[in-house]
């Protein structure tokens, strides 16, 4: 037993409540368990109970052992003067104090504790995966929708932080976020720094010249060399040398990486596609704002790198012909991680919450994401039908499952009280609800 689990049991009243009697022999009725306090002081505030028929209002303190009250010095702390009930797992220290003590250990189903301990100790993909089939579909959907909303809210905070850091320049912030998305995990930081070193307004001045756009992006990435046999990279290098001097650019020292990735994701290809994106769309955040339709925006990202890259993935290394058009999976990623969070945040910032929520549901029109986390959820029986659900599963795995916060998770809380796992207020001796 630990205090976190004890708080969970008390908050949700997952114990037999019939004929409650304090350790002092007084009858006890719980009117309200109170509000969980996450700061210093008693564990629950604004609680209401009846002792021998008389109603009391105040705070409640929880401990695994009743002796912890003295060991923690609460008997000498004025912050605990309004405690009306001491809830403990074990009453190991009978006291002469008038403070009522309620011992929970005899009233909590043993399988709740056993099941929780198993979840905390197992090394499965998620702690509750063996019980997941018990989850009601309606409750699961409700929890996943909340998780998806919470994940978008967190992304919105990140977007607003980026925009504020750029003096409310939405176009530049959007450009840097798009570039980061094109870098995937391996080159995300490097791509974002490249975009930060090349203001979007400067790039737009060259948006009618794909060669100059590529020269700027590939040059800032340190990918242009003079010893290449191909004429095209030599031309890019000449353009970059001129533009670097013109705009007083400082080439970034952080390298981009090619290792352990598919050729289509090589930084050369992704940077060439970014150049094509600006070439085709110019101020594309303004265009995204004016589009108002998922398919129109998706079509904006269906651009193809110039002809040189149809026969190469890297400079000077010929390959079989393949048009380097931005694929649907990358477009999905851009929509989920950049376009929707920016549209949502922009409208929240403008005070248009209703319109923001319209953009929030766009994830439900996007195909499920494909990654190792989603695949693992599918193996245990959770098959997401769209990107809203995959976003929810990613949120659940990262912030609940990985940290073993089952007591805070909508799935964990529900499963812990199901028949065969545990039910709230169930007499664990006769299996009947009180």
Residue ranges covered by each domain of the chain: 3-108, 169-326
Residue 269 has pLDDT above 80, yes or no: yes
Based on the number of CB atoms within 10 Å of its own CB, is 149 exposed (0-12), middle (13-18) or buried (19 or more)? middle
Predicted TM-score of the model (pTM): 0.79
154-211, pLDDT tens digit by residue? Answer: 999 999 999 999 999 999 999 999 999 999 989 999 999 999 999 999 999 999 999 9
pLDDT of residue 119: 84
Residue 85 has pLDDT above 90, yes or no: yes
In 183-318, alpha helices (H): 184-197, 200-204, 210-220, 231-246, 267-281, 284-291, 294-300
363-411, pLDDT tens digit by residue? Answer: 999 999 999 999 999 999 999 999 999 999 999 999 999 888 888 999 9
Phi, psi values for residue 87, rounded to 5°: -95, 125
Q: pLDDT: is 433 or 148 the higher one?
A: 148
277-303, pLDDT tens digit by residue? Answer: 999 998 889 999 999 899 999 999 999
- The closest of 312, 303, 313 to 266, measured between CA atoms, is 313
Q: Angle of helix 340-349 relative to helix 353-360, nearest 10 degrees?
A: 170
Over pLDDT 70: what percentage of the chain?
Answer: 96
Residue 431 has pLDDT above 70, yes or no: no
- What is the Cα–Cα distance from 121 to 69, expressed in whole angstroms? 29
Q: What is the mean pLDDT of the chain?
A: 91
pLDDT of residue 432: 30
- List Cα–Cα distances, 163 to 12, 69, 170, 192, 361, in angstroms: 41, 49, 6, 14, 23
Token pair 């695949």: residue: 375
Average pLDDT value for residue range 207-224: 96
pLDDT of residue 191: 97
Give Cβ neighbours of residue 98 (< 8 Å, ≥ 6 apart): 24
Buried b (16+ CB within 10 A) or exposed e, 238-252: ebbeebbeeeebeeb
User: How long a stretch of residues is the chain?
Assistant: 434
Q: pLDDT: is 429 or 199 the higher one?
A: 199
For residues 244 and 206, is the Cβ–Cβ distance under 8 A?
no
Residue 1 has pLDDT above 90, yes or no: no
Question: Hey, what's the torsion of the CAs at 362, 364, 365, 366, to 10 degrees?
Answer: 100
3-state secondary structure of 44: strand
Q: Which segment of 1-10, 82-91, 116-125, 325-334 scores lowest on mean pLDDT?
A: 116-125
pLDDT of residue 229: 76
Buried b (16+ CB within 10 A) or exposed e, 98-130: ebbbbbbeebbbebbbebbeebeeeeeebbbbe
């Amino acid at each position: 037993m630990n205090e976190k689990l004890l708080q969970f049991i008390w908050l949700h009243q997952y114990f037999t409540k019939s004929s409650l009697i304090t350790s002092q022999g007084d009858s006890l009725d719980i009117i309200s368990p109170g509000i969980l306090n996450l700061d210093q002081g008693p564990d629950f505030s604004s609680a209401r109970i009846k002792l021998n028929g008389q109603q009391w209002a105040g705070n409640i303190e929880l401990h695994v052992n009743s002796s912890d009250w003295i060991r923690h010095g609460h008997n000498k702390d004025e912050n605990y003067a309004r405690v009306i009930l001491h809830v403990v797992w074990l009453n190991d220290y009978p006291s002469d104090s008038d403070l009522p003590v309620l011992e929970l250990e005899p009233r909590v189903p043993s399988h709740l504790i056993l099941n929780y301990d198993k979840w905390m100790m197992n090394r499965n993909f998620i702690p509750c995966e063996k019980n997941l089939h018990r989850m009601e579909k309606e409750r699961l959907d409700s929890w996943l929708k909340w998780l998806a909303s919470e994940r978008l809210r967190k992304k919105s905070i990140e977007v607003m932080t980026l925009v504020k850091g750029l003096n409310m320049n939405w176009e530049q912030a959007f450009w840097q976020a798009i570039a980061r998305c094109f870098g995937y995990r391996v080159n995300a930081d490097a791509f974002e720094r490249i975009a930060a070193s090349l203001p979007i307004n400067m790039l737009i001045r060259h948006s009618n010249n794909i060669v100059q756009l590529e020269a700027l992006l590939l040059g800032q990435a340190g990918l242009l060399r003079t010893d290449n046999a191909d004429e095209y990279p030599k031309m890019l290098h000449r353009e970059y040398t001129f533009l670097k001097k013109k705009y007083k650019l400082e080439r970034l020292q952080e390298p981009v990486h090619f290792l352990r990735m598919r050729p289509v994701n090589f930084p050369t290809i992704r940077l060439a596609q970014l150049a094509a994106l600006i070439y085709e769309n110019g101020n594309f955040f303004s265009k995204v704002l004016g589009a108002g339709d998922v398919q129109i925006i998706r079509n904006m990202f269906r651009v193809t790198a110039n002809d040189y890259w149809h026969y190469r993935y890297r400079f000077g290394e010929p390959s079989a012909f393949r048009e380097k058009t931005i694929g649907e999976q990358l477009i999905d990623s851009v929509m989920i991680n950049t376009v929707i969070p920016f549209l949502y945040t922009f409208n929240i910032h403008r005070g248009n919450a209703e319109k923001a929520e319209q953009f929030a549901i766009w994830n439900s029109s996007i195909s499920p994401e494909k990654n190792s986390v989603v695949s693992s959820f599918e193996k245990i029986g959770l098959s997401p039908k769209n990107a809203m659900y995959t976003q929810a599963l990613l949120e659940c795995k990262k912030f609940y499952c990985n940290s073993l916060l089952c007591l805070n998770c909508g799935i964990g809380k529900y499963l812990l009280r199901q028949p065969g796992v545990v039910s709230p207020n169930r007499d664990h001796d006769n299996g009947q609800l009180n």
